[in-house]
Amino acid sequence: MDVKTEKVLLYIQNIPGALDQVVGHIRHEGWNIKRLTADESETAGISNMEIDIEGTHSKLARVAGRLLELDCVQSVTMPVNGEMVTRKKEGQLFQPGAAEETLPQVDEKEEGVFRILTINPGATSTKFALYDNEKAKLEFVIRHRKEELDACSTILLQKEIRKNCITDMLHKAGVNRKSIDAVSGRGGLLKPIESGTYRINSAMLEDLQSATAALHASALGAVIAREIADEISAPAFVVDPVVVDEMDRNAKLTGMPGIERTSIFHALNQKAIARRLAEKIGKPYENARFIVAHLGGGITVGAHRYGRVIDVNDALSGEGAFTPERTGNVPAVPLIEMCFSGEYTKQEMLDKIIRVGGMQGYLGTNDMKKVQQMIRAGDEFAALVLDSMAYQVSKEIGAMTAVLEGRVDAIALTGGLAYSGRFTGAIKERVDKLASVHVFPGEDEMLALMQGALRVLRGEENAMIYE
């Protein structure tokens, strides 16, 4: 019998258990998986999965039809008579690379429903989603060209590029912007505040213009949200911005008077994932002790104790593991010598730490997909860089275990880098004896932004005031 290996490409929803469903279904049918990789796609909430399947040709010919029966699978691409053919499920989300006219058209809003636009700018992308109550009507990730963003001398000057992309996509999806009841954006580097949903006011916008706030693209979340909201006379909010501060006082001291550790982290996603993890293990978040590692362009590892993040590294200031574009912890004396060498300006040194360090500095790219391609092509240094980044994340998780007195209910790995099985696998090997490790690829930030705004619109909580 002719046994051969064929490549199958899946486009799947990021829902709990999706990977187990796909793998279990293939193995149940008697097919052998030779290789499997998964990466974040251009569309929020959707992943690309590539599988090498070994079996007889007659069986492989039935893969597409069988896999499309799974709720999580949106499309299957596989070879048929020497050509790659895609079979799609009706009603699926917009596919990367598809023509713009194939964008799903958003229906008129039903009576009694709250329509919420959520905006989440990242270092190299802008994510947005449109919800009717809890139901996502449109989700999209706009990937910006590095050259386009680099042409802007500051992050704040990227506002028009990102805003125009959002409004253009809404127009092409047939969305009447007047139907939007609220806009919820990711918060920026504001003053330390309590966790919650805040109305975007003039005091917040003024603080977002500061040099410190303008160092991170998250500042644009509130700025763009307020501008769009003002144009349609709707309220604008931020939810659990990156400056949420619940740190224990013991975590604040650095050993150098005049410099104190600050709480700047992926609060929105860490809190959302911690609640998902609590639900998964059947323990209230307020009664749990978790370690959550957000793995993205920035990497933050937080110690969650009974609903509060009592310690977390400030990746923007250079703490923690190095990341796809940040240096992380660097020996202080050599760094000081470099600063005073006369070879670099202050801005160049900041760029080295925040924008062109880490993986970008070593390999010339911050794209995990490209790095994995380099590794598959035999680049041993690329493998060393990736494994060293995983090693440093593991050290941070170990440190947070000590913060929680060695009593950890579970560990969560989340963010865009969590799509890499090699990366999360390298972390698991070092920390899975500390507690059970749960992987949540991607982010829950869009959902959390919607939920915060929806609670205020429904009168379930009051919007907090930033002062």
Name the strand (E) or helix (H) holding 270.
Answer: helix 267-281
Query: Can you tell me the distance from the alpha carbon of 50 to that of 35, in angstroms, rounded to the nearest whole number?
Result: 8
For residues 22-46, average pLDDT? 71
Q: Give the pLDDT confidence of 262-304 residue by residue, as tens digits.
A: 998 999 999 999 999 999 999 999 999 999 999 998 999 999 9
- CB–CB of 235/182 below 8 Å? yes
Sequence length of the chain is 467
Give the per-residue pLDDT at 183.
Answer: 98
100 part of a folded domain: no
Give the per-residue pLDDT at 18.
Answer: 74
Residue 96 clears pLDDT 90, i.e. is over it: no
Domain count, the chain: 3
Q: Give the pLDDT confidence of 185-219 residue by residue, as tens digits.
A: 988 888 999 888 999 999 999 998 886 666 678 88
156 part of a folded domain: yes
Q: In what order do the strands lie in the sheet with 289-295?
A: 308-312, 299-305, 289-295, 410-415, 437-441
Same domain as 253, residue 349: yes
Give the per-residue pLDDT at 143.
Answer: 78
The total of other beta-carbon atoms located within 10 Å of residue 399's CB is 15
344 part of a folded domain: yes
- Binning pLDDT at 50, 70 and 90, where does residue 93 land? very low
CATH number at residue 354: 3.30.420.40
Give the per-residue pLDDT at 257.
Answer: 96
Same domain as 326, residue 250: yes
94 part of a folded domain: no
Look up tokens 């809404």; give the residue.
170
Domain that holds residue 64: 3-88
Question: Which residue among 88, 120, 143 closes a domain?
Answer: 88
Using only C-alpha atoms, the chain has a radius of gyration, in whole angstroms, of: 23
Q: Give the pLDDT confidence of 161-192 residue by residue, as tens digits.
A: 999 999 999 998 899 999 999 999 988 888 99
Same domain as 234, residue 273: no
Vertex 201 angle, CA 124 and 442, to 5°: 30
- Binning pLDDT at 50, 70 and 90, where does residue 24 land? confident
Same domain as 391, residue 308: yes
Residue 54 clears pLDDT 80, i.e. is over it: no
Cβ contacts of residue 74 below 8 Å, gap of 6+? 11, 12, 13, 46, 88, 89, 92, 93, 95
What integer best gives the mean pLDDT of the chain? Answer: 87
CATH number at residue 15: 3.30.70.260
The total of other beta-carbon atoms located within 10 Å of residue 207's CB is 18
Burial class (CB in 10 A: 0-12, 13-18, 19+), 96: middle
- Binning pLDDT at 50, 70 and 90, where does residue 465 land? very high
Same domain as 424, residue 282: yes
Give the CA-trace dihedral at 214, 216, 220, 223, to 10 degrees.
-40
Beta strands in 177-288 (DSSP E): 182-185, 197-199, 236-239
Query: Can you tell me the distance from the alpha carbon of 139 to that of 127, in angstroms, rounded to the nearest whole number?
Result: 8
Same domain as 128, residue 38: no
Paired residues of 295 in beta bridges: 299
Same domain as 259, residue 227: no
Same domain as 266, residue 221: no
Give the per-residue pLDDT at 41.
Answer: 65
Same domain as 231, residue 133: yes
Using alpha carbons, select from 160, 122, 144, 105 the residue that is nearest to residue 446: 122
Residue 319 clears pLDDT 60, i.e. is over it: yes
- CB–CB of 336/342 below 8 Å? no
